[in-house]
Amino acid sequence: MLTDVVESVTSESDGAIDPQALGNLLHLEVTALSRLAHVNRNTLTRNPASFKVQDALKPVVEILAIAAELTGSPGRAVAWFLHQPLSDFDFRTPQELVAEGHAEAVKTHLRMLSDGVYS
């Protein structure tokens, strides 16, 4: 699953995260993806291989990859990311948490789930 998510959103030529492919996977338009990643939409589309864009999109891909491993499929990982309210975070979705700058908290939450720790 990890490979499925990563392969589906990275460029074959240079291994960079493709914002368009990530947006397609998440069913998000460029504007919504740019808000999620805190990157100007023009930067996202005009310079997708830049360090700034890659650094901003990396946590989203990491979260989706971990979630795919836990849920068993990239599709279920996307559904979880977009729609699952998390009780530990005032019932905000992972997408909302990432948009608020809490990607590390979401990754920690997933690692805890992976380790069998439930709160």
Going from N- to C-terminal start, the domains of the chain cover 2-114
* Interacting residues of 87 by C-beta distance below 8 A, sequence separation 6+: none
Question: What is the percent of the chain with per-residue pLDDT over 70, rounded to a whole number?
Answer: 95
- Cβ–Cβ < 8 Å for 41, 28: no
- Cβ–Cβ < 8 Å for 51, 110: no
Residue-wise pLDDT tens digits, 20-60? 999 999 999 999 999 999 999 999 999 999 999 999 999 99
Tally of CB atoms within 10 A around 40: 13
Please choose, from the candidates 88, 93, 48, 44, the residue with its C-alpha nearest in 3D space to the C-alpha of residue 67: 93
Instruction: Kindly report the pTM of this predicted structure.
Output: 0.91
